[in-house]
Amino acid sequence: MANLLLFSLIPLFILRFCCGCIEREEKALLQFKAGVNDTENRLSFWEKGSDCCLWDGISCDDNNHVIGVEIDGGFKGGVLPESLCTLTFVATISLCHNGFTGTLPPCLGNLSSLTRLSLSDNRLSGNIPLSFAKMSSLVALDLASNNFEGEAVLTTICMLSLTNLSELYLGSNQLNGSLPACLGSFSSLTSLDLSYNQLSGNIPYSLGMISSLEYLEVSHNDLSGCIPDSLGGLSSLKSLFLSDNQLSGTLPSSFSRLSSLTNLLAQGNAFNQSIDSSSLPSSLIWLYLTLDGHQIISEAFFHNLTNLAFLSLSNCFLNISTTWIPSFQLFRLYITSC
């Protein structure tokens, strides 16, 4: 039996360590190498005839197909090489911090096995190709810190109907216009980052329909109006970043139901109503607020906040007894314009 098992493993051993990676995939990677400006010689060991599965930044499956290309930093500008489109088995492409310019190659939509596409911190622009709708396995799309602009990008993403998308990062671009209500249709989203853009208008009610959402960041935009009560239904939400917008009203009473929420940053807004401390869940560790300029903050405001470690309050009246011993222990405290 032992000899039979050893004999059965020999073909796999020979295939993996003698034959190396698939020839057409090696060719595609060498074309990729030729098409980038490798200023730091990160791809100096990518040589024809060697096993590309052993190259820096490349991973393969048991059948020697390339399933991962992960090279963060090291290139200097140039367009994103279309040779990546021939890697039909690739599941992960991570090419962040490389200064790539131009637009996203539409042929990337042919990569039906792709689950993660990370291209943050480049200089890509234009729109999202409609061909990306064929990426039925895509779980994470990271296009943060690029030059995408206008209203069409978010609308196009909605049109793609990427039902398995769990993470969407588009922060630090130049998106404008309103947040489309169709974002609420991404029922598998756990993380959504649209911070540091020029988005305006209201936060759509539909965002509160994404029950799986754990991380929501829309800070540093021009959003206005009241925070929708529906966000209090995000039972999985752990981090909510709303800071530096023009939001008005107050925090919805429904926030008291956010039992998983640990980070709430809402400073730098235009709240014009007092905030009821009963709307703040006891799970909070980070709480940053700019108040309406008239609210009096006393010990009672903190009665339920036993887990606080980071607190920032601005634009309020403080009425705290010198003998008060809070039920929490802060690591950092910021008090401004009070």
| 263: its two tokens | 């980070």
Alpha helices (H) in 15-107, listed in sequence order: 23-35
CB 326 within 8 A of CB 301: no
Torsion-angle region of 337 (φ positive above 0: left; ψ -120 to 50: alpha; else: beta): left
* Banded pLDDT at 19 (limits 50, 70, 90): low
CATH H superfamily, domain 18-290: Ribonuclease Inhibitor (3.80.10.10)
Summarize pLDDT for 97-119 with one digit per residue, the tens: 999 999 999 999 999 999 999 99
Which residue bears the tokens 């922060």? 171
- For 331, the 3-state DSSP assignment is coil
- For 322, the 3-state DSSP assignment is coil
Summarize pLDDT for 59-72 with one digit per residue, the tens: 999 999 999 999 99
pTM of the model: 0.92
Alpha helices (H) in 21-126, listed in sequence order: 23-35
Summarize pLDDT for 115-172 with one digit per residue, the tens: 999 999 999 999 999 999 999 999 999 999 999 999 999 999 999 989 999 999 999 9
Strands of the sheet with 246-248, listed across from one edge: 149-150, 174-178, 198-201, 222-226, 246-248
Q: Which amino acid is at 65?
A: H
